[in-house]
Amino acid sequence: MVDQTAKGQLLERPVIVPHEGSCLDGIFLRGVDPPPLLVASPHPLLGGSMQHPVVNEIAYGAARVGRASLRFDYRGVGASEGEVSGDPERATGDTRAALEHLIETTGCESVAIAGYSFGCWPALLLAAREPRIDRVLLVAPPRASLALPDYASVSVPIVVVVGSEDALADPARERALAEAVHPRVRVETIREADHTFRSGLVELCRITERFLGAGARGSSSRAKGPPSA
C-alpha cells in the first residue's frame, strides 16, 4: 500500500478530458498500483457531480490502497462543456472519454470502474462493451426509478453496495439479480444507510479498498469471481 498523502493532503489535481471537440472537467487522484479506478457520477439533471460525497469517498478509498482514480463531470455539469442530458448513452460516451484519459495517464492496460446511483448505468453499459474494464463497483443502483440493465451482459466481477434503508435500491432485488449470475456478482449491504449514504461513508470506503486491493499486481480477475468485499 502506498501513502497517497503529502502533508495531510491527497495528491489530486484537476484535469481536462477532451471529448468530441469539447472538454470534460475531472479530478485525477494519483496512485501507483493497478488497477486505476474510474468513477461515474450521479444523475446530471438532479445535481449529480464529481463533488458528491459518495463519489469522493470512492476515490479516497482507492487512494488508500495506492490506486489512481479519475472522477469527472458529464457534459453540461459544472465546468464541463456542452449541454446537460440525462441520456444514459450520452453519459456512457462521456465515461468512455474519461476511460481513455485514465488509461493514457496511468499507462495501465485495464481499469476498474465504479458508478454511484445514475452512474451505475453508464458503468454497466461501458463494462459490457469495453474489454479493458476488469471489475465493476456499483453503489446504490436506483432500479426503483431507472431501467438499469441486469448483470448478464457484463462478464467481469461485480460488487454491488446498497443501503438497508435505500428506497431506490432494494437489497433483496439486487441479491436476486446477483444469484442469477452467481458467483460473479456479490452484494454488500450497509446497515442503516439510505441512498445518500450519510451514515455509511466509512464502510463504503472500506468496501472500495477491499474491492481494489483483492487483485494482486499482475493477476487477472476476469476469469475469477468477484473480489472479496
Assigned domain for 229 exists: no
Tell me the backbone φ, ψ of residue 26, rounded to 5 degrees: -145, 170
Assigned domain for 218 exists: no
Question: Exposed (0-12), middle (13-18) or buried (19+): which is 130, by Cβ within 10 Å?
Answer: middle
**ω into residue 53 within 30 of 0, thus cis?**
no
| 217 vs 54: CA distance, rounded Å | 27
pLDDT, residue 10, reads 66
The number of domains in the chain is 1
Assigned domain for 224 exists: no
Q: What is the pLDDT of residues 33-88, one digit of tens each?
A: 999 999 999 999 999 999 999 999 999 999 999 999 999 999 999 999 999 999 99
Assigned domain for 226 exists: no
Per-chain mean pLDDT for the chain:
90
Assigned domain for 48 exists: yes
Assigned domain for 228 exists: no
pLDDT, residue 83, reads 94
Assigned domain for 222 exists: no
Report the CATH number at residue 46: 3.40.50.1820
Q: Which domain holds residue 162?
A: 5-213
Q: Is the pLDDT of residue 110 over 70?
A: yes
Q: Is the pLDDT of residue 134 over 60?
A: yes
Q: In this structure, what C-alpha cell is assigned to residue 196? A: 445518500
- Structure confidence at residue 21 as a pLDDT band (50, 70, 90): confident
Rounded mean pLDDT of 150-179?
97
